[in-house]
């Protein structure tokens, strides 16, 4: 299941308060999409790591009630209370918790209560974890606990990541490199002992490294520390193509028609141009961009238009749009 499908599925199940377990390899954004759902719904979000708890921590600490001579369990403060009527309780890396801790969560997940504590009605429970095949330190989930969830398995998706990256203003050279080398988005291999490998998470680290403008002698080791030496060298070589690009502002203003010949430069140019466009871009500049794409090889012209349309940029009113459709419509998916 790609990230967008997983996100839509989670939103439906959270609405109905059905417990969900999201499986997937490391670094593909499992935690992020759960947090995004809470943010978009404007509800509370609590990220709870059961691997850091003891079996008794969820139930709380007992104390003696002198009035009725009974022991009462004081619920832990990290669980949602009545002040937060709606939200998502996220049990990340649940299967890294010891079996006794997992067992202590049975009642909370299925019955929405544990000891004296009851989960507010407006809260949904979502858990996530890596698969046993991912070489992570995980404990096999007991059948009684597994049966308390709807299980979804998520995989990395270049198309979904690209949409997210453009909207998040990830460096155009990274977006273009992944378009040029889709295999570079996720290089995790259970048979490979390298500590650094590419995932959507580590590409976000590369973006932060580039944005920090490190000295020239530090760029390669820093990027290699995030995604591995071989891929870092390939990416940085690709990034050097930026110096060969025509003036992006001149293209948008309609005063430049130069088109690079190198495919790597065309990938970088296509990504960089689409990231210059937003909801406030005027019709004249949009028309200039569409006119410029008429001079590009078909696959790159279509890449630019598809990126714009996926972000809701309307093009039907642009003067050059009918001509573009006549030339490239057969290439549109």
Question: Which CATH number among 3.10.450.50, 1.10.150.130, 3.40.50.300, 3.10.620.30 corresponds to the domain 3-153?
Answer: 3.40.50.300
Note the pLDDT tens digit of each residue in 30-64.
Answer: 999 999 999 999 999 999 988 888 877 777 777 77
- How far apart (Å, rounded) are the C-alpha atoms in residues 22 and 202? 20
Q: What is the pLDDT along the chain (333 residues), one digit of tens a residue?
A: 999 999 999 999 999 999 999 998 888 999 999 999 999 999 999 999 888 888 777 777 777 777 777 777 777 888 898 888 899 999 988 888 888 888 888 888 888 888 778 899 999 999 998 877 666 566 777 788 888 899 999 999 998 998 899 888 899 999 989 988 899 999 988 677 778 999 999 999 999 999 999 999 999 999 999 999 999 999 998 888 776 788 888 999 999 999 998 888 898 899 888 888 888 899 999 999 999 999 999 999 999 999 898 888 999 999 999 999 999 988 876
Write down the pTM of the prediction.
0.77
**Per residue, what are the HEC states of the chain?**
CCHHHHHHHHHHHHHCCCCEEEECCCCCCHHHHHHHHHHHHCCEEEEEEHHHCCCCCCCCEEEEECCCCEEEEECCCCCCCCCCCEEEEEEECHHHCCHHHHHHCHHHHHHCEECCEECCCEEEEEEEECCHHHCCCCCCCCHHHHCCCEEEECCCCHHHHHHHHHHCCCCHHHHHHHHHCHHHCCCCCCCCCCCCCCCHHHHHHHHHHHHCCCCHHHHHHHHHHHHCHHHHHHHHHHHHHHHHCCCHHHHHHCCCCCCCCCHHHHHHHHHHHHCCCCCCCCHHHHHHHHHHHCCCCHHHHHHHHHHHHHCCCCCCCCCCHHHHHHHHHHHCC
């Amino acid at each position: 299941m790609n990230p967008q499908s997983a996100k839509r599925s989670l939103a439906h199940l959270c609405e109905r308060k059905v417990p969900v377990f999201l499986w997937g390899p490391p670094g593909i954004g499992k935690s992020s999409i759960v947090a995004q759902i809470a943010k978009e719904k404007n509800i509370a979000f609590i990220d709870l790591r059961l691997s850091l708890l003891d079996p008794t921590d969820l139930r709380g600490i007992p104390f003696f009630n002198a009035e009725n001579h009974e022991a009462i369990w004081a619920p832990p403060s990290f669980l949602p209370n009545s002040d937060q009527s709606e939200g998502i309780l996220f049990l990340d890396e649940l299967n890294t918790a010891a079996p006794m801790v997992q067992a202590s969560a049975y009642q909370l997940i299925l019955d929405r209560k544990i000891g004296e504590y009851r989960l507010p009605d407006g809260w949904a429970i979502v858990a996530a974890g890596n698969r046993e095949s991912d070489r992570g330190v995980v404990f096999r989930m007991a059948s009684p606990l597994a049966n308390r969830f709807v299980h979804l398995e998520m995989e990395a998706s270049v198309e979904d990541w690209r949409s997210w990256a453009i909207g998040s203003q990830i460096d155009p050279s990274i977006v273009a490199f992944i378009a040029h080398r889709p295999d570079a988005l996720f290089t995790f291999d259970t048979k490979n002992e390298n500590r650094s490998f590419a995932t959507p998470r580590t590409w976000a680290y590369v973006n932060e490294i580039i944005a920090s403008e490190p000295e020239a002698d530090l760029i390669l080791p820093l990027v290699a520390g995030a995604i591995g030496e071989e891929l870092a060298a390939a990416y940085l070589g690709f990034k050097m193509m930026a110096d060969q690009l025509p003036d992006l502002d001149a293209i948008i203003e309609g005063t430049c028609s130069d088109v690079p010949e190198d495919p790597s430069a065309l990938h970088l140019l296509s990504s960089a141009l689409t990231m210059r466009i937003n909801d406030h871009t005027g019709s004249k500049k949009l028309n200039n961009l569409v006119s410029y794409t008429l001079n590009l090889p078909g696959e790159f012209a279509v890449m630019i238009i598809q990126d714009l349309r996926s972000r809701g940029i309307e093009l039907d009113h642009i003067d050059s749009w009918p001509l573009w459709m006549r030339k490239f419509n057969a290439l549109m998916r």
